[in-house]
Amino acid sequence: MAAPQYWTPEFVEAYVEALNDDAAFQNAAGSFTNTIILRCLDHPNGEDIEASYTFEDGEVTDVELWVEDAGDSDFRDDPFDKSAALARATAPYHVWVALDKGEMTPLAALTSPDYQIEGPKLKIMANMGVLNGMGEVASRMDKTY
């Protein structure tokens, strides 16, 4: 089976499996129970993509995808609902690829004008192990760009 393209529904499906099967991530996630939303703008296939990952005790129990044509104003202007998720991270595809390849550190992303994270900063910082672990699992996955 061919490796899925990064940030496609096929990749997200494989990613959920990888998160739930990765012992190091499960250890880092511990009893984490919340939702993390990741948004990718300007995917090479001409889409903006949002993946909402719901965790219960460190395991992904649900993922919801929202895919629109790149630049769709309903997608891009959608307000973040802090009662529905801990955090929402939004970045263009090239930033996600740089993070995935290790060409950009999470700290560099946080200070980049191209990367936006929404949510209560102290709670996000307290759960950086989960967020960093998610990135580490993704970077180890077989995929194409």
pLDDT tens figures, 57-74? 999 999 999 999 999 999
End-to-end Cα separation, the chain, in angstroms: 16
Mean pLDDT of 35-61: 98
In the predicted model, is pLDDT for residue 1 greater than 80? no
- Per-residue burial over 41-77, b if 16 or more Cβ lie within 10 Å, else e, is bbbeeebbbbbbbbbeebebeebeeebeebeeeebee
**Residue 107: per-residue pLDDT:** 85
Decide: 75 and 66 in contact? Cβ < 8 Å: yes
Decide: 11 and 43 in contact? Cβ < 8 Å: no
Band of the pLDDT at 35, cuts 50, 70, 90? Answer: very high
Structural domains in the chain plus CATH codes: 9-136 (3.30.1050.10)
- In terms of pLDDT, which residue wins out, 114 or 2? 114
Reported as a single tens digit per residue, the pLDDT across 112-126 is 999 999 999 999 999
